Amino acid sequence: MIASHWNSSRSIIPATASAEIATQTRWHAVVIGAGPGGAAVAIRLARHNMRVLLVDRDSMPRPKLCGCCLSSMALAELADLQIPSGKLRPVPLNAVCVAAAGGSAWIAMERSACLSRESLDSTLVQQAIDAGAHWLPGVNVSAIDSALGDPHAWALGLSVGILGRFVSQPLPFSGIVLHAECAVVAAGLADHIRIQNGSGSAIPRRFPWPAKRPLERRQTALKSRVGVGTTLATEAMDLESGKLVMAVARGGYCGLVRLEDGRIDLAAAIDRRLLSDSAGPAGAVRRILHEVFDGQPLDGFTLPSDDALTVATYRATPPLTHRSSLVAGDTGRIFRVGDAAGYVEPFTGEGMGWALASSRLCAEAILAHWPPRVHPADPIQVVAAGDRYRRTYKRLFASHHARCLRVARSLRSPRLVAGGLWLTRRVPWIARGVLPLLIGSVAPGHAHPWRRQ
Ligand SMILES: Cc1cc2nc3c(=O)[nH]c(=O)nc-3n(C[C@H](O)[C@H](O)[C@H](O)COP(=O)(O)OP(=O)(O)OC[C@H]3O[C@@H](n4cnc5c(N)ncnc54)[C@H](O)[C@@H]3O)c2cc1C
């Protein structure tokens, strides 16, 4: 079996709150989703003495579909989180081979690194626990009702109710309702959590199934690609640590990188049509790699065999490019961060940086208008926190999202990419100028546009 499963001495992080404590506590914030966005917001709020519960439908560590590259923004945000040194050991990336049918070029990289999501996400969850947050894995949240909070507080609009179920328990006994002053949705691309504005009762009408009132749906870009990915065993291909290979074809693109534990991470963004024409992810990835590399010499690496790609276990995402409302619910107590708030195709490998940065902005907005000693927060302050989050998010991300959309559009034309690569091989300084535009990095000595000045 070539598909590799994560073997590590890192053991599962146990829950720190029982179901009983979780339901009986009036939380200042319940954070849903323990990816980088959710864990980072939990760390920041817990460090300011807020009562925080971090829930996820999975346990930690868990595998996650991702290219695993940390952009300079992600590295800066991780530094800002002050994770004790030695806890995270990303592998610095020093070169990327961009390849399209008709040519390839190695381009030097700086201030980027790669790290498996098992390692990154579980370290951040452990940091959230160390900061004082409680951790409850195995809870799949289905709805948040802005008028379904603490029975004493809901009438005044002072809390929200979070409805979920324990994934490991049979249905009639698995329901759980959490009460919090605010909910932070960090459920990633798979966010399907219903936002309900006032079911008018402290008890859901059809507990544990929420009343059907879908509101505030996400907007998905037309023809958005979907993500697929897997990890392959160490020996699946020759690829030096610190090197990244990106193959750009007509129906999508695919990245390969060696993780810190030797496995190969494969992540791709693929047209839905190619996926169905190729009878699934393995066929689609094989077609991309054949289209790009058949007939051209491989420079410094080999490719995984068709057999290795066929037997691998793939994960997939819903359509990638989308946006949702940053603040939801009629009382404005539901915030979205990370992929749940908005996302653009991942060629530029910036999603984790965006998730970490949006969680910082969200936490800053909550803490500025909602200091822990003033609970429950008055509704005017809650609205002010939402306004501040929207404003700072837009200021930070508008240009990044626009740049990534332009990159994503250009990548639909492998001829354009091949032309760019041809030029890059002849005029190398062009690569140095273009790469920061592609991956959003900043030349040394320049201010980081996303940092507070
Ligand atoms: C093909 C591909 C390649 C990528 N490559 C890169 C890259 O190289 N670099 C980079 O920076 N980014 C990359 N990204 C993007 C990156 O993976 C995301 O941007 C990042 O994971 C977002 O973090 P998040 O915390 O918002 O969400 P996630 O990391 O998706 O975390 C969401 C969490 O919420 C949990 N959850 C979901 N629904 C529920 C629910 N209902 N109840 C409870 N829990 C729930 C999930 O179990 C999960 O743990 C890539 C994405 C794709 C698709």
Residue 303: is its pLDDT beyond 60?
yes
Q: Taking a C-beta distance cutoff of 8 angstroms, is the pair 218, 323 a contact?
A: yes
Rounded to 5°, angle at Cα 285 from 283 and 291 = 100
Alpha-carbon span 243 to 97, nearest angstrom: 8
Residue 307: is its pLDDT beyond 90?
yes
pLDDT of residue 84: 87
Residue 105: is its pLDDT beyond 90?
no
**Is 32's C-beta closer than 6 angstroms to any atom of ligand 1?**
yes
Alpha-carbon span 120 to 8, nearest angstrom: 13
Q: What are the pLDDT digits (tens) for 442-452? A: 433 333 333 33
Residue 241: is its pLDDT beyond 90?
yes
**Is 69's C-beta closer than 6 angstroms to any atom of ligand 1?**
yes
pLDDT of residue 201: 41
Residue 367: is its pLDDT beyond 50?
yes
pLDDT of residue 259: 97
Residue 339: is its pLDDT beyond 80?
yes
Q: What are the pLDDT digits (tens) for 176-229? A: 999 999 999 999 998 889 988 765 443 343 333 344 444 456 788 878 899 999
Alpha-carbon span 194 to 451, nearest angstrom: 33
pLDDT band at 393; cut points 50, 70, 90 = very high
ipTM over 0.85: yes
**Is 76's C-beta closer than 6 angstroms to any atom of ligand 1?**
no
Ligand 1 centroid to Cα of residue 419, in Å, is 32
Tell which residue, 188, 189, 213, 187, has the closest CA to residue 200: 213
Atom of ligand 1 nearest to the CA of 187: 34
Residue 7: is its pLDDT beyond 60?
no
**Is 74's C-beta closer than 6 angstroms to any atom of ligand 1?**
yes
Residue 175: is its pLDDT beyond 70?
yes
For the residues 115-141, what does the mean pLDDT come to?
Answer: 97
Percentage of residues of the chain with pLDDT beyond 90: 59
Among 43, 56, 140, name the best residue to mutate to test ligand 1's pocket (greatest count of ligand atoms within 8 A of Cβ): 56
**Is 190's C-beta closer than 6 angstroms to any atom of ligand 1?**
yes
Atom of ligand 1 nearest to the CA of 268: 1
**DSSP-based helix, strand, coil % in the chain, nearest 5:** 35, 25, 40
pLDDT of residue 277: 95
pLDDT of residue 437: 60
pLDDT band at 438; cut points 50, 70, 90 = low
Q: Whose CA is nearest to atom 38 of ligand 1?
A: 187
Domains, the chain, ordered by start: 19-65+120-221+321-402 (3.50.50.60), 91-113+225-319+418-439 (3.30.9)
List the structure tokens of 46.
């817990």
Ligand 1 centroid to Cα of residue 443, in Å, is 28
